[in-house]
Structure 1
């Protein structure tokens, strides 16, 4: 293991640091945009289950990067996204965390956090759409989803929006779940 020049600890991994920063940026953006924090970024109610959080990883089963009830967000800051792989990972981590939905949030280089891409598997997209009781065309239009239909293997198909529209969808899903 390489040590820092002062010999006090391991050399930080720059890719891990970039990923951690992206996770924090996503969390901070959603909390601010949903009105869950004050001007200094402190939770208005630290016990509110709707606060968006980065969970501590415990045990062998990964529970995802960011929890935005009822979603687990698998956040990626990579140059070449492997979206179908990220979505499978997000869905496993959502199950591990006991959440109904897992999505992947991928940073768009040289763009603001709001422009980050939020990818849904077709299965998750359909389940969320049904929760909101919307027809597919209306759901796609309201949240500006675009499809990626690659090849004949439907497991590689996904739907994409940006983080700003995901924030609107998240608020609507939370409202629908509380009124149901």
Structure 2
């Protein structure tokens, strides 16, 4: 690849997609670029359009604007930027959202857990314990 910056970005997208396949969704895959109607770099990050960035200078505001715009194009409720941390592996990268998006996501999780807890308390207890241990 002639453009070293593009090669770094592609390597980051590939590494993150592999990580997501192993730890989250085995069907995750990189998306084809769609220009002004881009839908994010990777499909399969639950409920999110993920915009991946591997740049020396980090500009969170532009990343979040792009991720939120691409979430609309992708029909996903949330956008996030997935930013490579220099000199670190995939698991040490950053997933970034604006506060508005994060509060919407947390409200959704809270409401879903309350529903599960009221309908199936034993299942909720198992679920809660499993996810507390994963941290």
TM-score by length of 2: 0.76
1:52 aligns with 2:18: no
Deviation of the 1:59 alpha carbon: 5.6
Runs ≥4 residues deviating over 4 A = none
Number of aligned pairs? 111
1:26 aligns with 2:2: no
TM-score by length of 1: 0.58
C-alpha separation in 1, matches of 2:73 and 2:101: 16
How do residues 77-116 of structure 1 correspond to structure 2 at under 5 angstroms? 77-116=54-93
C-alpha separation in 2, matches of 1:29 and 1:72: 16
Task: Mark the CA change 1:60 to 1:35 in structure 2 (over 3 Å): closer, same or farther.
Answer: closer
Deviation of the 1:35 alpha carbon: 6.5
C-alpha separation in 2, matches of 1:112 and 1:99: 27
The structure richer in helix per residue is 2
Deviation of the 1:84 alpha carbon: 1.1
Match of 1:120 among 97, 101, 112: 97
Q: Secondary structure at 1:99's aligned position in 2?
A: coil
Counterpart in 1 of 2:115? none
The answer on whether the counterparts of 1:65 and 1:73 sit within 8 Å (CA) in structure 2 is yes
Task: Mark the CA change 1:96 to 1:104 in structure 2 (over 3 Å): closer, same or farther.
Answer: same
The answer on whether the counterparts of 1:52 and 1:69 sit within 8 Å (CA) in structure 2 is no
Deviation of the 1:60 alpha carbon: 3.6
C-alpha separation in 2, matches of 1:59 and 1:65: 12
C-alpha separation in 2, matches of 1:19 and 1:131: 31
Structure 1: runs of 5 or more not aligned:
1-10, 37-50, 135-167, 169-180
1:14 aligns with 2:4: yes
Structure 2: runs of 5 or more not aligned:
112-130
Q: Secondary structure at 2:97's aligned position in 1?
A: strand
